[in-house]
């Protein structure tokens, strides 16, 4: 069978394919796995109870089940949901938006496929535009969604060494440049994989750069405010005419509903609606139906702040304590946990590549994600990218603790061996 260029590009190996394959096999296999590699949210009992009751209400309320599963949504997504969300954001933050500023997609990954290829790649005049990632590491799912190769340019961060084992990435504002080849700026906040939260000053700087160069600023808000608000530092949610805000229902506990949300200017929303119609006829209705009442009454924000955030904050603190307990003799630093539900482990001067450490852990049924996948667009090699792992602390506490212990054992064994990484 001969594959097209498209077929070869999207049927080959990639970080996101490996991640989801590991997740699927771990969930479906008979052999127990310590699954610390996926982005699946935790099963928070309070939230699960709310969703279970909502599903019962949909089944019992006349016409709701039929509307949710028996009809196509408009190409931009469920109108009552978009209307309710625009109203909530307008009331909460004073943003000048309406339902025409909202579109739904079949998950955030679809949103970024649409947006990146709308704004970058081969242009009508034959030029090639790129997406600027002002700080790497960044989300693994960005790297392979471009229809054309070489879609990203990114920059190394500045590293601030904090107390104890912690460190933090900051944007190197002096070196980040917006040239004519940049079609948009994008970052996640909190950042997946590191849990880093860009400061308001960093966001404002990037916002001004985008305005000065008349390009969009894309903010990936999958873990951020106002929902699911998995944030452990104070930030100001932002939106403006030049900002494209991407949200999701997944990290609220509804990943199976595959509901991405895009808040943007009407011309962007219209383009997304057209893409929805072409690629999938319409986005699914299930997520919108499950969350509609929560959006209408504002509970989606209240529950995010009072249930979801404290739940993950406690898990982050406990996981950090286990790392300190298991790795006192290992040169391992942890990015300061400021949000999301991952710890980003940096094994300084690790004698083996993180991909090899990942392989050894996988042999012991511990699934993590090797760090090298999270650096798309860097212009030169960086040893740091081969020394990191992303570890999820969303699973049950006993699973996370067992995984941390085995990671420590394998890292300790690696440091005891001669280096297998060639000198730069």
**Confidence tier at 15 by pLDDT (50, 70, 90):** low
How many CA atoms, within 13 angstroms, populate the side-chain half-sphere of residue 54?
19
* Same domain? 178 vs 239: yes
**Confidence tier at 28 by pLDDT (50, 70, 90):** low
Q: Supply φ then ψ for residue 183, to 5 degrees.
A: -95, -25
Check: CB of residue 252 under 8 Å from CB of residue 359. no
Torsion of CA 284, 193, 152, 217, to 10 degrees: 70
* Same domain? 243 vs 310: no
Q: What is the CATH number of the domain that holds 392?
A: 3.90.1150.10
* pLDDT at residue 22 in the model: 67
For residue 333, the surrounding DSSP H or E stretch is: strand 332-335
- The yes-or-no verdict on residue 13 having pLDDT over 80 is no
**Confidence tier at 300 by pLDDT (50, 70, 90):** very high
Find, among 130, 82, 115, the residue nearest to 287 by Cα: 82
Of 276, 300, 324, the one marking the end of a domain is 300
* pLDDT at residue 419 in the model: 67
* Same domain? 394 vs 411: yes
Of 267, 300, 333, the one marking the end of a domain is 300
Residue 393, C-beta contacts closer than 8 angstroms, at least 6 positions apart: 36, 315, 316, 318, 319, 341, 342, 343, 400
Q: Residue with structure tokens 């490996």?
A: 18
Domain that holds residue 132: 73-300
Please state, in angstroms and as integers, the Cα–Cα distance from residue 363 to each residue in 184, 316, 368, following that order. 40, 26, 12
Please state, in angstroms and as integers, the Cα–Cα distance from residue 374 to each residue in 215, 377, 398, following that order. 24, 10, 27
* Same domain? 352 vs 284: no
Of 300, 316, 336, the one marking the end of a domain is 300
Give the mean model confidence (pLDDT) for residues 208-229. Answer: 97
Output the pTM of the full model: 0.93
In a domain, 52, yes or no: no
In a domain, 26, yes or no: yes
* pLDDT at residue 294 in the model: 97
* Same domain? 195 vs 272: yes
* Same domain? 273 vs 359: no
* Same domain? 281 vs 337: no
Cis peptide before 417 (omega within 30 of 0): no
* Same domain? 127 vs 179: yes
In a domain, 56, yes or no: no
* Same domain? 113 vs 25: no
* Same domain? 285 vs 321: no
* Same domain? 374 vs 307: yes
Q: How far apart are CA 41 and CA 206, in angstroms?
A: 29
Dig out the tokens for 275 from the structure.
């893409």
* Same domain? 196 vs 276: yes
User: What is the number of domains present in the chain?
Assistant: 2
Give the mean model confidence (pLDDT) for residues 163-167. Answer: 93
In a domain, 78, yes or no: yes
């Amino acid at each position: 069978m001969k594959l097209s260029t498209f077929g070869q590009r999207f049927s080959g190996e990639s970080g996101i394919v490996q991640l989801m394959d590991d997740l699927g096999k771990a969930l479906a296999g008979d052999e127990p796995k310590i699954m610390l590699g996926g982005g699946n949210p935790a099963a928070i009992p309070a939230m699960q109870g709310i969703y279970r009751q909502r599903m019962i209400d949909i089944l019992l309320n006349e016409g709701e089940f039929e509307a949710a599963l028996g009809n196509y949504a408009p190409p931009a997504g469920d109108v009552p949901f978009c209307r309710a969300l625009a109203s909530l954001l307008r009331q909460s933050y004073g943003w000048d938006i309406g339902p025409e500023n909202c579109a739904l997609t079949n998950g955030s990954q679809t949103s970024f496929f649409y947006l990146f290829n709308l704004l970058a790649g081969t242009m009508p005049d034959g030029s090639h535009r790129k997406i600027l990632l002002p700080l790497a590491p960044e989300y693994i799912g960005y790297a392979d969604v471009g229809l054309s190769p070489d879609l990203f340019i990114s920059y190394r961060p500045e590293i601030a060494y904090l107390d104890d084992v912690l460190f933090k990435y900051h944007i190197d504002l002096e070196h980040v440049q917006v040239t004519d080849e940049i079609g948009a700026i994008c970052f996640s906040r909190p950042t997946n994989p590191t849990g880093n939260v860009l400061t308001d000053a960093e966001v404002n700087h990037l916002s001004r750069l985008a305005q000065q160069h008349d390009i969009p600023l894309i903010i990936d808000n999958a873990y951020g405010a106002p929902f699911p608000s998995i944030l452990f530092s104070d930030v100001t949610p932002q939106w403006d005419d030049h900002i494209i805000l991407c949200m999701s229902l997944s990290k609220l506990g509804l990943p199976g509903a595959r509901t991405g949300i895009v808040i943007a200017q009407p011309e962007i929303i219209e383009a997304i609606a057209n893409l929805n119609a072409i690629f999938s006829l319409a986005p699914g209705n299930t997520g919108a139906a499950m969350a509609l009442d929560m959006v209408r009454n504002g509970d989606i924000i209240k529950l995010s702040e009072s249930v979801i955030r404290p739940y993950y904050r406690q898990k982050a603190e406990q996981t950090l304590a286990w790392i300190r307990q298991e790795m006192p003799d290992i040169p391992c630093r942890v990015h300061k946990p400021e949000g999301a539900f991952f710890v980003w482990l940096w094994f300084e001067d690790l004698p083996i590549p993180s991909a090899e450490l990942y392989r050894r852990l996988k042999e012991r049924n511990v699934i993590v994600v090797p760090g090298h996948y999270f650096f798309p667009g860097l212009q030169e090699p960086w040893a740091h990218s081969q020394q990191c792992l992303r570890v999820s602390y969303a699973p049950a506490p006993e699973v996370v603790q067992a995984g941390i212990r085995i990671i420590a054992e394998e890292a300790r064994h690696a440091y005891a061996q001669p280096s297998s990484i060639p000198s730069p």
